[in-house]
Amino acid sequence: MPELPEVETVVRTLAPAIAGRRIESAQFTSKFVTPGDREALAANVAGRTVRGVRRHGKFILIELDEGSTLSVHLGMTGRLLVNSAKTAHTYGVFRLDDQSVLHYDDPRQFGRIEWSPARVARLGPDALGIPLEAFLIALRKRSSRIKPLLLNQSFLAGLGNIYVDEALFRAGIRPLAIASRVSRKRAMDLHAAIQELLTLAIAHGGSSISDYVDADGKKGGFQNLHQVYGREGEPCVRCGAPIRKTVVVQRGTHYCAKCQKS
C-alpha cells in the first residue's frame, strides 16, 4: 500500500484521531510485524500519551512521552485504521483513553512496528522537499541506474515503484539511464517532477491500487491520474505510442520508449 503520498495521507488522517490521546493498552500478535519481544513492546507503549504523528520517507513516526518514538512501516499491505472491525489479519491493537481503537492490519506481514529502529536513522533525505542543488549533486555522484537509485531509501526516502515510474516518465528519462550521465536539464526536470507528482498525489489522497485506504478507511484517487503505471499497452498521454512494461530489479517497470531517453 504505501509510498510517500499514501503514508502522508495516513499520517494526516491518523493525527487528529490519536494526538493527545493516552494509549491505555497495546497488543501485538505477529512475530513478523513485531520481531523480538512483543509483550515488552506492548508494555512499553501502554500508559504513554501521543504527542504527535510525523513521517520520514515511508515511515510513520508516532511520538510518545519523553521523546520516545514508535515507528510503523506499512510494508506492502499494512493499514492503520481507526475504529475499524477486527479482521483475520489484525496484528496490532491500540486502545485509547477516549474508548477509540487503532488497528494495524497486514495480510502479508511485510510491515513493521518497532521502537525507534536503526533503519530510520539510515534513511536519506525525504523525497518531498529535498533542495534542488542537493539532489543534483547527489545524482551526479552515482553510477548506478536511475530507477534502482530512486528506489534506494538511503539515497532518497519515500519513492516506491509507482512514483518512480511516474516521475521518470514526467522527466523524460529511461528507467535504466545511468544517474551520473543524466543531463543537468533532465535532472532538474526530474526534481521538479518528483515534487509536483508527490504534491498532486497527496492532494488526491494517494493511489489505491489494490487495497490502500487511509486511517478512516477511505480510498485515494490518484490511481486514475497515473500516466504509465498500470497502463501497459495503452497509448502514451504525450505521444500516443503504446506504454511498455519490462522488469527492472525484479519490479514491473512502465515507460514510453518514445518520450523517455537513456
Q: Which residues pair with 82 in a beta bridge?
A: 102
Which residues within the stretch 107-126 sit at the binding site for DNA (CB under 7 A)?
Answer: 107-110, 119
**Residues ≥6 apart with Cβ < 8 Å to 6:** 74, 206, 207, 212, 214, 220
User: Can residue 204 be called a binding residue for DNA (CB under 7 A)?
Assistant: no
- In contact, 144 and 112? CB cutoff 8 Å: no
* 3 included as an active-site residue: yes
Give the one residue of 77, 90, 227, 260 binding DNA; rule: CB under 7 A: 77
Tell whether residue 214 is a contact of DNA (CB under 7 A): no
Q: What is the DSSP letter of 178?
A: B
Determine contact, residues 85/60, Cβ cutoff 8 Å: no
Residue 91: name the closest of 46, 152, 42, 134 by CA: 42
Stretch that binds DNA, among 35-43, 45-53, 136-144, 183-191 (CB under 7 A): 136-144
| Selected binder of DNA within 9, 34, 90, 161 (CB under 7 A) | 161
Task: Choose the binding region for DNA from 14-22, 128-136, 154-162, 183-191 (rule: CB under 7 A).
Answer: 154-162
**Spatial CB neighbours of 3, under 8 Å, sequence gap ≥ 6:** 58, 158, 159, 160, 161, 162, 163, 206, 207
Please report how close the Cβ of residue 156 comes to DNA at its closest, in angstroms: 11
Tell which one of 76, 93, 101, 136 touches DNA (CB under 7 A). 76
Residue 207 makes contact with DNA by CB under 7 A: yes
Residue 49 vs 69, nearer CB to DNA = 69
Say how far apart CA 241 and CA 190 lie, in whole Å. Answer: 22
Establish if 175 lies at the interface with DNA (CB under 7 A). Answer: no
DSSP notation for 205-241: T---SSS---TTSPPP-GGGG-SSTT-TTSBPTTT-P
* Residue with Cβ nearer DNA (92 or 160): 160
Least distance to DNA, CB of residue 252, Å: 2
Binds DNA (CB under 7 A): choice among 67, 143, 233, 240: 143
Interface with DNA, residue 205, by CB under 7 A: no
- One residue of 21, 48, 51, 89 binding DNA per CB under 7 A: 89
The verdict on 227 binding DNA (CB under 7 A) reads: no
Strand ranges in the chain using DSSP code E only, listed in sequence order: 23-28, 52-56, 59-63, 69-73, 79-82, 90-96, 101-105, 112-115, 244-248, 251-255
Q: Which is nearer to DNA, 95 or 142 (CB)?
A: 142
Active site residue 2: yes
**CA 138-144-146 angle, 5° bins:** 75
Judged by the rule CB under 7 A, the positions of this chain that interact with DNA are: 1-3, 6, 32, 57-58, 73, 75-77, 88-89, 107-110, 119, 142-145, 148, 151, 153, 160-162, 207-212, 249-252
Catalytic residues: 2-3, 58, 251
